Amino acid sequence: MNRARKRYLLWTAVVVLTGALAFAGAGCGGGGKKSSKGKSNLPSSIGKGEGVLNLVAWEGYTDPSWVKPFQQQTGCKVHSKFAGSSDEMVTLMRQGGGSQYDMVSASGDASLRLIRGHIVKPVNVDLIPGWKDFIPQLKSPSHNTVDGKHYGISLQWGPNTLLFNTQKVKPAPTSWSAIYEPTYKGQITVPDNAIQIADAALYLSKTQPDLGIKDPYELTKAQLDAAAKLLKQQKPLIKKYWALASDEIDLFKNGDAVIGASWPYQTNTLKADGVPVKDLIPKEGATGWADTWMLSAKAKHPNCAYLWLKYISTPKVQAMQALSFGETPANLKACPFMNKIQKGGCAQYHANAPASYFNSIKFWKTPIADCGNGKNDCMDYTAWQQKWTQIKG
């Protein structure tokens, strides 16, 4: 074969392949557009378990101490896949056409994306006895209930806290300014997550009121730019943007970080390891999460899923998870069980706190263009993610 002919053959192969792939791609696109709306047929009773339940969850949400009894009671073997961020949860639930996992413990910044993407389907709350005892704000919250349909059952909630080393950080901080000012330069850590922009926006809503930020998740372009500017100024102060909770635990253990934005889970773990840390909600308030167990629209094991919803909403299991992770249960009847497991546990995690405490937390939600003023001038989550990449540079 001469050289010219070889070259000709190679290019033919490339062109043919390109064409074939483009066609295949276009074909997939056409097929995927099929609307899957249809009537939602809610089950009226829970059938026999299918023997398996595949979950996407936050680390620490499927602890053996409450998963094992569930498996024994129902015969549903639980497989859990841990996700590090809300974005990852959405991606995992999309995988394999959406039938790979049955349920997801989605936070408010993922739940609406899952609902709008038709990845999850409504559930019948009448089959979940624990639901009636939920704190009223979490029975039909806007992050999991759309048009009166319940896309899942609320689980637990809590604030994102300011964590610090009590020996290195003196006096104890009272404001989020501690992580935006250079006092602890090179010893600060914050999550590597675009939703962290909301923390900056919340801080700005108190320190620069003329920006007019009312809701840290509904930002106009100017407001988003202001938050990004603050975070860019913060960047040289940061030791590390943490990706996993265990990263932050390492940073505090090894002395690389002395202060940072955190979850109560890290505080509990570090305290158990004897590291002198404390966390608090600074005076500007805090962002937080309210999680929901949601059911995949194509779940292969719906009965096990309903059994899980029923089980995880009972006061005792709610209390176990709350104390293990360091968060507040949705079920108000969990309070005495928390005190039984750990003295003063109910008050420590605010399970008996008045509604004003709940309302003081700005819960994670998905930023969308429509922020309720009819102008669609808010920045959506894609814009937030691009900003976050620019901030980290």
Partner 1 sequence: MRGLILLTPPVGAFIGIYVAALVALFVSAFWTLDPFTSAVVHQWTLANFDTLIHDPTYRDIALRTIGIAAAVTVTDALLAFPFAYFAARLAPRRLQAVLFVLVLLPLWSSYLVRVYAWRLILARDGVLNWTLGKLGLGHIGVAYSNWAMWIVFSYIWLPFMILPIWASLQRVPDSYLEASSDLGAKSWRTFRTVLLPLVLPGVIAGSIFTFSLTLGDYITPILVGNTDFIGNVVYRNVGVSNNVPFAAAFATVPVIVMGVYLAIARRLGAFEAL
Q: How many residues bind partner 1 (CB under 8 A)?
A: 36
Our CA dihedral for 27, 32, 38, 43, rounded to 10 degrees, sits at 130
Candidates 104-112, 174-182, 223-231, 383-391: pick the segment binding partner 1 (CB under 8 A). 383-391
Calpha distance 218→201 (Å, rounded): 9
Query: Nearest 5°: phi and psi at 174?
Result: -125, -10
How many secondary structure helices (H) and strands (E) does the chain include? 14, 15
How many angstroms separate the CA atoms of 337 and 342, rounded? Answer: 9
DSSP character at residue 209: G
Q: How far is the CB of 8 from partner 1 (least distance, A)?
A: 15
Using the structure block, give the residue that is written with the tokens 């992050």: 143
Judged by CB under 8 A, the residue of 22, 172, 222, 347 near partner 1 is 22
Q: How far is the CB of 390 from partner 1 (least distance, A)?
A: 4
* β strands within the chain, DSSP E: 52-58, 77-83, 103-106, 120-121, 145-146, 149-150, 153-159, 161-165, 188-191, 238-242, 259-262, 277-280, 286-296, 328-329, 361-363
Site for partner 1 in 122-181 (CB under 8 A): none
Is the Cβ–Cβ distance between 266 and 259 less than 8 Å?
no
> Cβ contacts of residue 272 below 8 Å, gap of 6+?
none
Taking the least distance from each CB to partner 1, the nearer of 94 and 271 is 94
Instruction: For the beta carbon of residue 50, count every other beta carbon within 10 angstroms.
Output: 19
Task: Judge contact between 122 and 137, C-beta under 8 A.
Answer: no
Backbone φ and ψ for 360, nearest 5 degrees, come out as -80, -15
Q: Any residues with CB less than 8 A from the CB of 290 and at least 6 apart, and which? A: 107, 108, 138, 141, 143, 154, 156, 157, 363, 364
Per the listing, tokens 């992580």 go with 179
Nearer of residues 249 and 312 to partner 1, judged by Cβ: 249
Q: How far apart are CA 177 and CA 200, in angstroms?
A: 10
Give the residue from 318, 246, 334, 328 showing the smallest Cα distance to 290.
328
Binding mask 319-358 for partner 1 (x = CB under 8 A): ----------------------------------------
d(CA 121, CA 43): 12
Stretch 88-107: interaction string toward partner 1, x if CB under 8 A: x-xx--x-------------
Instruction: Select from 112-120, 136-144, 261-269, 307-315 the region that touches partner 1 (CB under 8 A).
Output: 112-120
For residue 240, the one-letter residue type is: K
Closest CB to partner 1 among 29 and 148? 29
For partner 1, the binding residue among 11, 12, 21, 79 (CB under 8 A) is 21
17 sits near partner 1 (criterion: CB under 8 A): yes
Nearest to 137 by CA among 322, 285, 331: 331
Identify the residue among 250, 284, 341, 352 touching partner 1 (CB under 8 A): 250
Nearer to partner 1, 14 or 222 (CB): 14
Q: For partner 1, which stretch binds (CB under 8 A), given 18-26, 49-57, 171-179, 293-301? A: 18-26
Site string for partner 1, 255-284 (x = CB under 8 A): xx----------------------------
Residue 251, SS3 per DSSP: helix
CB of 188 to partner 1, least distance (A): 11
CA 47 to CA 25: how far, in whole Å? 40
Applying CB under 8 A, among 6, 8, 11, 25 the residue interacting with partner 1 is 25
Judged by CB under 8 A, the stretch of 19-27, 121-129, 153-161, 207-215 that binds partner 1 is: 19-27
Considering only residues 31 through 90, tell me which ones interact with partner 1, judged by CB under 8 A: 32, 85, 87-88, 90
Nearer to partner 1, 195 or 204 (CB): 195
Scan residues 216-245 and list those touching partner 1 (CB under 8 A): 238-241, 243
- Which listed range, 66-74, 200-208, 283-291, 379-387, lies at the site for partner 1 (CB under 8 A)? 379-387
Of 11 and 357, CB closest to partner 1: 11
Return residues touching partner 1 (CB under 8 A).
13-14, 17-18, 21-22, 25-26, 29, 32, 85, 87-88, 90-91, 94, 113, 116-117, 186, 238-241, 243, 250, 254-256, 380, 382, 385, 389-390, 392-393
